[in-house]
Amino acid sequence: MLYTLYETQRTLMEPISYMAKGLSKFYSNPQWPFSETQLAHRVSAGYDLLYRLGKDYEKPGFDIRKVPVDGVDVAIDERIEVDKPFCELRRFKRFSDDPPTLEKLKAQPVVLVVAPLSGHHATLLRETVRMLLTGHKVYITDWKNARDVPLDDGIFGLDDYVNYVQEFVRHVQGIYGYCHVISVCQPTVPVLAAISLMASRGEQTPQTMTMMGGPIDARRSPTSVNNLAIQHSFEWFENNVIYRVPSRFAGSGRAVYPGFLQHAGFIAMNPDRHASSHYDYFLNLIKDDDNNAEAHRKFYDEYNAVLDMDAAYYLDTIRTVFQDYSLVNGTWDVVSPAGETERVRPQDIARTALLTVEGELDDISGCGQTRAAHDLCTAIAADRRQHLEVQGAGHYGIFSGRRWREIVYPVVRDFILKHQASPPAAAVVPVTARRSTPARKRKAA
C-alpha cells in the first residue's frame, strides 16, 4: 500500500516539478527584460530548487568516454558481457591508436569490481572505475532494479548474490586466466563468501581481493546502520519495510525493499548536512556560481537515484550479516545453483592476497569491521596481507574524491601489481553479451 501511495504522490508531483523547471528558465531568460534583477534571480533559483526536490531521478549512466594513460587519451567502450536476471556484468573496453600505449594496456591487470547492492546504482562507483581504468582492464557488476525484474525470473537472495559473484569471477578468469577482485561496502561479505567457497572446492581463486569499507564483522565499532538492525527483530523488518511492486512496473507483485525507503534512511542519517547543501545550492544559483551549482547537481543526480532490492536478498542480509553474524561465527551455509549446501570457510583461502581499506570517519561501516577479514583468512601468509586506514576519510571518501585518487588508489594499484602472477593459459570463452537463466527458482516472497 505504501509503495502505491508513494507512486501516486510522485506522479502528482511530476507535472509540478516540470512546471517549476519551466518557470525557472522563464525568470532567468535573458530575453525577459527583468531577468537580471535580484528578485528574478531569487525566483528563478527558488523554482530550480523546487524542480530538483520534486523530480524523479532515473539511473544515470557511467558516461566514461576516455581516460588518460600516461598522458595519452584512451577511448572507452562500455559493453554488457553477461546479462543475468538481476545483474549485468559490464566491461569497459579500452582502445588506442598509439602502439606503445596499446601494448601497455594489454599488459595491465584485469579487475572485477563488485558494486554494492544497497540502494544506489553501480554508477555511484563511477570515479572508482574511472581511476582504475588508468591502469587496469575493468569489469563491474551493475545490479538491476528489482522492480523491473519480472516475477517469472524467480527471487534473488543473498545465496544468489554469492553465486553470481562466483560466476563472474569464472567468466573473467576464463578470458584472461586470472583476475583481481575489488569489493566496495556491502559486497565485501558475499565476495569473501564466494572466494571462500571456490577455495574450499579447490577452484582457482582471484590473485588478490581488495575489500573496502564493508561489514565483515558488524559487531565492531557499530554505527547507526548496525544499531538499526539489532534494535529491531527480523519479523519487524518483514512486516514494516517490505512492499509489493505496483502494477505499472515489469516486476509487478514482487516483494521488495523499496529504494525510496533506503533513500529516506540515507537522508535521515545527516538531515542537517543535506538541508545545508540545498540551501548553498540556492545561494550559488543566485550568485551565478555555475561550478559549485553543477557539482551539487552531479552529486544529487547520483545520490537521489535509488533502486529496489528483492525482499529475499534484503532480509537475508539483515539476518546473516547484521543479526546472526554468520560469517564471523562460522555458521554461514550457502546453497549452490545445483542445490547443494556448502559451509563458508574463509580459513580455506590461501592463494589470494588480501587488502582491506577503511575510512577513519566511516559512519556506515565502522573502523575494524572490514579489517576483521584478516582474522578470518588465517591461511593467507602475513606478507600477502595489507591494511589501510585512511585518515580523515568518511565512507564515500575511500572510493571517490581526492583521498581515493591520491591515497587509496595508489595503494590498491601497487598491491595488485605486487601480487600479480603469471596467469595460466586462458580458456576460449565467447565474450558476446548473453542472458543467463536462474539455475533455481523459488516462490516469490
The helix/strand count (H/E) of the chain reads as 16, 14
Pairing of strands 180-184, 208-212: parallel
pTM for the predicted model, two decimal places: 0.89
Cell numbers representing residue 197 in the block = 567457497
Rounded to whole angstroms, how far apart are CA atoms 424 and 444?
Answer: 42
The CATH H-level superfamily of 66-239+308-418 is Alpha/Beta hydrolase fold, catalytic domain (3.40.50.1820)
For the chain, the helix, strand and coil percentages under 3-state DSSP, each to the nearest 5? 45, 15, 35
CA dist., res. 438 & res. 432, Å (int): 19
Give the per-residue pLDDT at 30.
Answer: 85
321: cell is: 550479516
Instruction: Fill in the DSSP letter of residue 97.
Output: S
Q: How confident is the model at residue 8, as a pLDDT?
A: 82
Query: Is residue 163 a contact partner of residue 336, using CB atoms and an 8 Å limit?
Result: yes
| pLDDT tens series, the chain, 445 aa | 788 888 888 888 888 998 998 999 888 888 877 778 888 889 999 999 998 988 888 899 999 999 999 999 999 999 999 999 999 999 999 999 999 999 999 999 999 999 999 989 999 999 999 999 999 999 999 999 999 999 999 999 999 999 999 999 999 999 999 999 999 999 999 999 999 999 999 999 999 999 999 999 999 999 988 888 899 999 999 999 999 999 989 999 999 999 988 888 778 878 898 999 999 999 999 988 889 999 998 888 888 889 999 999 999 999 999 999 999 999 999 999 999 999 999 999 999 999 999 999 998 999 999 999 999 999 999 999 999 999 999 999 999 999 999 999 999 999 999 999 865 443 333 333 333 444 444 433 3
- Give backbone dihedrals phi and psi of 141, rounded to 5 degrees, phi first: -85, 120
Sequence spans of domains, the chain: 2-56+259-303, 66-239+308-418
